[in-house]
Structure 1
Amino acid sequence: MTAKIQLISPVDGRVYVERQQIDTARLLQALEAAATAQAQWKRRPLSERAAFCSAAVDAMLAMKDEIVPELAWQMGRPVRYGAGELRGFEERARHMIAIAPEALAAVEPAPVAGFRRYIKREPLGTVLVIAPWNYPYLTAVNTIIPALMAGNSVILKHASQTLLVGERFAEAFRRANLPEGLFQNLLLSHASTAVAIVTGDVQQVNFTGSVDAGLQVQQAAITDFIGMGLELGGKDPAYVRADANLEHAVENLVDGSFFNSGQSCCAVERIYVDQKIYPAFVERFADLTRQYVLGNPLDEATTLGPMVSPAAADFVRGQIADALAEGAKALIDPKAFPADAPGSAYLAPQVLVDVTHEMSVMRDESFGPVVGIMPVTGDEEAIALMNDSEFGLSASIWTEDLAAAERLGNEIATGTVFMNRCDYLDPALAWTGVKNSGRGVTLSRLGYEHLTRAKSFHLRHEV
């Protein structure tokens, strides 16, 4: 007898929805169907694939009114921001559809008399997408649309916390009349996911989640030559130089720290500020943070919803308590946020100063509404501290000097360097990480290279 998946809502702690996991027999049937469908799909013209994918995007957007409150119930994001994820979903999907003809075009070297030579991009086969709950549409679409555009079939295993998102994807493709078996949403346990990886019927796994879970996924694939894309943790730093536009930096870094309750892989979790402007920056940062409204995410007035679970909130509470015990100072009074309750998923935002890299809050991924701020003497110290981390997903530099931003960016061990912005994925650029933030690429033209294999044609037509 297969187990049930219960989605516990962070809004009120009740079971929001319940579904049955599939068994191994059903999983093997799904993998066989995916392979059968992909064999025909890869032969379809790219224009036809684009038409199906575009229709699915349209169908997803048509469900916006149901999706937005569903998101709030599933993972706690305030409804006033729910539509923003769908706008990002559309931006990424449309971009990847638009660039597919160029990204998938044959590469032709300089001509040689008597020969026809080119490199073709061929689909891999079946791509398994293991998607997280924090940005459930955005993270999933990064792979799903380009994988299908490249001629692959897709199996989606979504996080149990946002299992309705997988059903929305399935419904969108059903409305788009995508051929049967090409996209399948499966409710899998961790054990069943491992089975899917080791069957030999999956050619690429794209996983987004924690470092520990990423290691488990990689371990499951160790006996097979399976492609692997891993977007893992982050502890993303920001450096505010003395010449920065202070108001702009404060406004955007507060948002980058606390949007989605800090539950973003590329959320700003540590900030280094030139000592010349440090007092003014900290004062304004704390003042703006106090303006958040913590509460029920279904209320339009709420700007900060609950974290995904009481356990997640308690982890951040523990980091804050440990930092305070080690000498840090908290600038935000939790009592100013009545919804904050110990043991609940509702957690007030917190700004910590007098922090050091000896503290967990400046070293370990928080994935919650807390940020530590440190003064620095200048560029050299800032870069050393930014690189003092096991992670490297994104980093931001706040300055009016473009040349300085590029120079410093070259010294930071990170996948993305931002100047005067943060916490954003540009679909025209490669999304990637270094160190324990993962490996592989999604989005941009380079994303297609990780969803296809090169096949060279060396044809001598004059003998």
Structure 2
Amino acid sequence: MPIATVNPATGENLETFEPFGRGELELRLARAEAAFRDYRTTTFEYRSQLLRRAADVLDADREQLARTVTTEMGKPLAQASAETAKCARALRWYADHGAALIADELPGEDDVADSGATAAYVRYRPLGVVLAVMPWNFPLWQVVRFAAPALMAGNVGLLKHASNVPRTALALEEVFRRAGAPEGCFQTLLIGSGAVEAVIRDRRVAAVTLTGSEPAGRSVAAVAGDELKKTVLELGGSDPFVVLPSADLDAAVRTAVKARTQNNGQSCIAAKRFIVHADVYPGFTSEFAKAMGALRIGDPMAPDTDIGPLATRQGLADLSALVADALAHDAVAECGGNRPNGPLEQGWYYPPTVLTGITPAMRIHREEAFGPVATVYRVESLDEAVALANDSPFGLSSNVWTTDPAEQERFVRDIEAGSVFFNGMTASHPALPFGGVKRSGYGRELAGHGIREFCNVTTVWLGPT
């Protein structure tokens, strides 16, 4: 795949980038190694100030960065601007809390004495150079949620971004350069996917984090495993959105629309499978389809656009094939289901679509729909809702609408997912760990769990003198 900026609203190739050759790649790896030797010894206060300055740069360049993101991957401009602001908040959150999250840990005095030590503690030390293989769907946020904790812990970063967002990737390197990061502390690698294995195997790279598809995760994990290097994987998701009889239906419908269509529906943690109790199924499904069908599709730069184009031509083809397969197996399109005609045909647009009558014979029952397509299921009981929610190879997040404490506890106990959000929409926040189970990956980003993923958890034991 070429490294290029292609406008998904028009299909126009705006700029093509030459991938780094061996010489440039070697230079950047050497810089990263040299930077780590010094950066690892900096104080928490030094790193905090670096993150705060990076946040200031993001704030100052917010609208320019948002336009770059929208141009490259098609999300509505207002959402791109909000993503930029969220990145600045995350940098400041780690600047404020990072030192406390990886401060020395002291065991109890009795435990220290029982170990035979006069003193003992745990120290979190940085691992080294961390390679981040990142996707295009949240091209700023996915990177910052790795970079903020990694840099705060004393690691340095190498970014291999998706090949369709090179301008964004280079802009992120520039953000940290302008913030005063030491040379080599955070660098972008303009390389294709075929060059990733050699970087992972390079002795100077200590660990890898990837957000992306299941095949990409398997490939990176296999190489890193062969080298015995730490990995964190955040992969696909097919999150359930369960609506039970006690739900506030109006709020559930409003949130369901946003949860399915944010980022043009291209989000791993988007609600994708809507599992609705029979008592409220007719009302929810009717209002949901009506609201989805009323969304405005068009130029992502326009302020009144709700849904922009999908980010890639292949993504459009894959989503179209999933819907076509479902309809061929007798699913019903309550709205959408066909590509728009007219001027939008030039871009990679797909309309908000609601499908009912889903059966296991359909590919969409098991596969992730990466775009504004929702599947709606009718269930007769709480047990059936739990079973259907778990009937997926993925386990990233989940949404449940109920005010019944017993039903809430049942989902906390039984849902096979990395998180469960009640009466609200799944979202990531720096203070809350983020990640999944099953084929959605392993490890955690954000919060204290995320900053410790790329630390050497070091036991220090002091014997009698």
TM-score (norm 2): 0.95
Report what 1:27 is aligned to: 25
Compared CA separation, residues 157 and 335, structure 1 to 2 (3 A):
closer
Secondary structure (helix, strand or coil) at the match of 1:140 reads helix
Q: For residue 81 of structure 2, what is the aligned residue in structure 1?
A: 83
Q: Deviations 1:360-380 (Å, cap 9, x if unpaired)?
A: 122101111101101101110
1:420 matched residue in structure 2:
423
| 366-375 or 421-430, larger mean C-alpha shift | 421-430
CA contact 1:96–1:146 (8 Å) conserved in 2: yes
212, 217, 226: which is aligned to 2:215? 212
Output the CA distance in 1 between the equivalents of 2:354 and 2:205. Answer: 44
Output the CA distance in 2 between the equivalents of 1:321 and 1:340.
22
Change (3 A) 1:225 1:336: closer
The Cα offsets for residues 368-425 of structure 1, whole Å up to 9 and x where unpaired, read as: 1101101101110011111111100001100112442132222011011110112311
Q: What is the CA distance between 1:91 and its match in structure 2?
A: 2.7
Letter in 2 for 1:279: P
Verify the 8 A CA contact 1:38 1:152 in the aligned structure 2: yes
- Pair 1:320-2:323 in alignment: yes
2:171 maps to which residue? 168
Equivalence for 1:458? 461
Larger mean CA deviation between 135-144 and 219-228 belongs to 219-228
Output one character per residue of 1:9-33: Cα deviation in whole Å (capped at 9) or x when no partner: 2011111222121112221221121
Q: Match of 1:17, SS?
A: strand
State the match for 2:125 in structure 1.
122
Do the aligned residues in 1 keep the contact of 2:338 with 2:350 (CA within 8 Å)? no
5+ residue gaps, structure 1:
none
Which secondary structure does the structure 1 equivalent of 2:317 belong to? helix
1:196 lines up with 2:199 in the alignment: yes
Determine if contact 1:310/1:346 at 8 Å carries over to the other structure: no
1:289 to partner: Cα distance:
0.8
Residues 11 and 306, structure 1, Cα contact 8 Å, conserved in 2: yes
Q: What does residue 398 of structure 1 align with?
A: 401
Equivalent residue number for residue 441 of structure 1? 444
AA aligned opposite 1:149: M
The Cα of 1:438 is off from its aligned counterpart by 0.4
Q: Counterpart of 2:148 in 1: which secondary structure?
A: helix
CA shift in 2, pair 1:115/1:420, >3 Å = same
Structure 1 residues 366-385: aligned runs within 5 Å: 366-385=369-388
Aligned to 1:10: 8
Q: Which residue of 2 aligns with 1:62?
A: 60
For residue 96 of structure 2, the aligned residue among 95, 98, 101 is: 98
CA deviation after TM superposition for structure 1 residue 333, in Å: 4.4
Q: Secondary structure at the match of 1:410?
A: helix
Q: Report the CA distance between 1:311 and its aligned residue.
A: 2.2
- Given that 2:5 and 2:167 are in contact with CA atoms closer than 8 Å, whether structure 1 keeps it comes out as no
Q: How much does 1:426 deviate?
A: 2.3
Q: What residue is the counterpart of 2:182 in the other structure?
A: 179
Distance in 2 between the 1:250 and 1:331 partners? Answer: 15
**Residue 306 of structure 1 corresponds to which residue in structure 2?**
309
TM-score (norm 1): 0.96
| Residue 286 (structure 1) aligns with | 289
Structure-1 separation of matches of 2:93 and 2:436:
21
Relative to structure 2, which stretch is displaced further, 247-256 or 312-321?
312-321
Q: 1:136 aligns with which of 126, 139, 143?
A: 139
Compare 381-390 and 24-33 and name the one that shifted more.
24-33
The alpha-carbon distance between structure 1 residues 321 and 46, as it changes in their structure 2 partners (threshold 3 A), is same
Give the Cα–Cα distance (whole angstroms) in 2 for the partners of residues 135 and 336 of structure 1: 24
Relative distance call for 1:274 and 1:196 in structure 2 (3 A) is same
Shift in alpha-carbon separation, 1:319–1:336, aligned structure 2, 3 A: closer
User: Within 2, Cα distance between the matches of 1:339 and 1:72?
Assistant: 22
Of all paired residues, the percent bearing the same amino acid is 33
CA gap of 1:415–1:145, structure 2 versus 1, over 3 A, is same
CA–CA distance in structure 2, aligned partners of residues 85 and 369 of structure 1: 19
Structure 2: how far apart are the matches of 1:82 and 1:213?
25
CA distance change for structure 1 residues 296 and 199 in 2, over 3 Å: closer, same or farther? same
Q: Are the equivalent residues in 2 in contact too, given 1:293–1:337 (CA < 8 A)?
A: no
Greater Cα offset, 186-195 or 232-241: 186-195
**Match for residue 355 of structure 2?**
352
Shift of 1:167: 1.3
TM-aligned CA distance change 1:458 to 1:336, over 3 Å: closer
Paired residue secondary structure (1:407):
helix
SS in structure 2 at match of 1:229: strand
1:154-199 Cα deviation digits (max 9, x unpaired) = 1111111111121121111111111111111110122221111011
The ranges of structure 1 where at least 4 consecutive aligned residues each deviate by more than 4 angstroms after the TM superposition are 333-344
In 2: Cα distance, 1:435 partner to 1:365 partner: 14
Q: Equivalents in 2 of 1:65, 1:432: separation in Å?
A: 29
- How many correspondences in the alignment? 460
